[in-house]
Amino acid sequence: MSDPGSGPQLERIEPAKVTLSHQAGSGAAAERPTARLSPLGLGALALGLGLLGLGALNQLTPGSSTKDGAGAPKPLAEGSSAPPTATAPPMATPAGETAPFASAQAQALREQAQGTLRQLLVRRTALEDHGATRWAAKALSAIQQQAEAGDAAFLAGALEDSLARYEGALAEADALWAQVPERQAQTAQAAEAALAENRVGDAREAFALLEALAGEDGALRAQAERGLARSAVRPKVLERTQAARLALGNGELAEAQTQLAAAAALDGEAKVVRTLQAELTARKNALARDEALAKGYAALDRKAFDAAQGHFEAALRFDGGATAAQEGLALLAHARLEGRLAALQARAEAARRKGAFEDALAQYEAALALDPTLAFALTGQRLMTERLRLTEALTMVEARLGRDPSEAVLAHAQETLAAATPFLSEEPALATRIAALRQRLSAASEPRTVRLFSDGKTAVQVLRVRHFGVVTAQNVPLRPGDYVALGSRDGYRDVRVPFTVPLDSAGPEVAVICQDPI
């Protein structure tokens, strides 16, 4: 490469990262994470798409121009000065042929469009397998129209527009797919609630929708099928439980037992069945209930939590509405909660003393999950979040000191150290790290002498530092960090020499000589 002022210059062109996302009114595309493909039908889908893609590709010709962002050099970091640039002379292209770069870019766009379309088809199939035609028909239609518009653009050679429409359709399909878990949960909850409230028609409709939403989820499908079966027999269950209730009111316990057994055979999970069974059992087992309660409270006083729980649960089996048993279970839950919270607090404080702020934060958040009003956990969560932000900032400073010699990096390091100072008395584990970082900052601020060598014919410069012209030797004071020396000479190829000025030793000697004739 010649001297910056002496004529045309050539510069190696590095293609920029190709992205897949598309914004309205722009030709730039951004990457999309690869969707997880359903295993069902994937082989047939891939084969069909491959044959369809080959047919479409044979009808298209590559585009003749690139869009901004494709093939462009990466931008320089803020604050840096640009190295000399060069404009390559136009290359002659035989008549009727497409320039290789444009052809490659068009091919890349075709492949991106086809890849996005494959993801869209897989996503749409998954939505249909989850009953989306029942709960999102309009949205599916809009996605189909968007994809068809992408097909038309693809066949017309408008590859960027095609990619944008495919990506838009895929984004809508992804958004719809993201609703599936919530819809499954809401539908399951609504179905179970309707059945519990004996709204048989609503329950059947909700369980039918849940069955469509289940897809390949065997547990969810089983829940829907079980719910449909329970809904079908609910009228008979209600008839039997009504007869049992009348028998209980008349004191006919044997008849009540017979009717409840018949109702339980139809649907033993029905709330009305369980309630009447508990009422019947309560009348038979009042004495056993009182004995279980006495044993439960005695075990709670001894902090024999498992034994207490067993006795209280036994009392509830004898009498499902026993208030004393419910109160005992509540006291038991509170006692257990206090023990768990004390253990979490102890582990959090131990982790904090060791400087393991992330572990301490996890313990505080676990405590808040049990009781979101705990003062010690709220305070600990706030303090550990601050400490983690600080440690992240310190890590960034440590990584950049000695690599980037810019004033901005040094200033940021000084600001970070200043921000860390108030925490040192409270967090001894940080003190050692801060002291080491101060020494590193001091070393990074002190220039080292770098000796540049050349042949007296090569013009030498250190990028972002200074142009020295033609030299044989030159001492240059440079702060620790990574640099690039550039040599240029008429009739020779430019030479770039990366070098590093170390933090803990003297500056290096760097030879910059153009030796490769053009």
Least confident range of 59-73, 118-132, 306-320, 430-444: 59-73
Provide the pLDDT for residue 126.
92
Determine phi and psi for 475, rounding to 5 degrees: -90, 130
Q: What is the mean pLDDT of residues 10-31?
A: 33
Q: What is the mean pLDDT of residues 225-238?
A: 93
Tens-place pLDDT, residues 1-10: 434 333 333 3
Provide the pLDDT for residue 410.
85
In the predicted model, is pLDDT for residue 236 greater than 90? Answer: yes
Task: Say how many CA atoms lie within 13 Å of 122 toward its Cβ.
Answer: 21
Provide the pLDDT for residue 425.
63
DSSP assignment, residue 422?
G
In the predicted model, is pLDDT for residue 11 greater than 70? Answer: no
- The domain segmentation of the chain, as residue ranges, is 15-66+100-178, 181-284, 287-339, 392-445, 448-511
From CA 31, how far away is CA 52, in angstroms rounded?
Answer: 24
Q: What is the pTM of this model?
A: 0.36
Provide the pLDDT for residue 69.
35
In the predicted model, is pLDDT for residue 84 greater than 50? Answer: no
Tally of CB atoms within 10 A around 429: 15
Provide the pLDDT for residue 96.
53
From CA 417, how far away is CA 396, in angstroms rounded?
Answer: 12
Region for residue 225 given its phi and psi (left: phi exceeds 0; alpha: psi -120 to 50; beta: otherwise): alpha
Interior angle at CA 30, CA 29 and CA 32, nearest 5: 125
Least confident range of 128-137, 189-198, 405-414, 453-462: 405-414
From CA 49, how far away is CA 191, in angstroms rounded?
Answer: 39
Provide the pLDDT for residue 33.
35
Least confident range of 122-131, 208-217, 424-433, 461-470: 424-433
In the predicted model, is pLDDT for residue 46 greater than 70? Answer: no
In the predicted model, is pLDDT for residue 140 greater than 80? Answer: yes
In the predicted model, is pLDDT for residue 238 greater than 50? Answer: yes
Interior angle at CA 288, CA 285 and CA 289, nearest 5: 85
Provide the pLDDT for residue 299.
93
Instruction: Read off the amino acid at residue 106.
Output: A
If you write DSSP's letter for every residue of 283-329 in order, what string do you get?
Answer: HH-HHHHHHHHHHHHHHHHTT-HHHHHHHHHHHHHH-TT-HHHHHHH
In this structure, what token pair is assigned to residue 189? 């909850």
Cα-based torsion angle of the residue sequence 510, 511, 516, 518 in order, rounded to the nearest 10 degrees: 80
Q: Which CATH class, in words, describes the domain spanning 448-511?
A: mainly beta
Least confident range of 7-16, 164-173, 233-242: 7-16
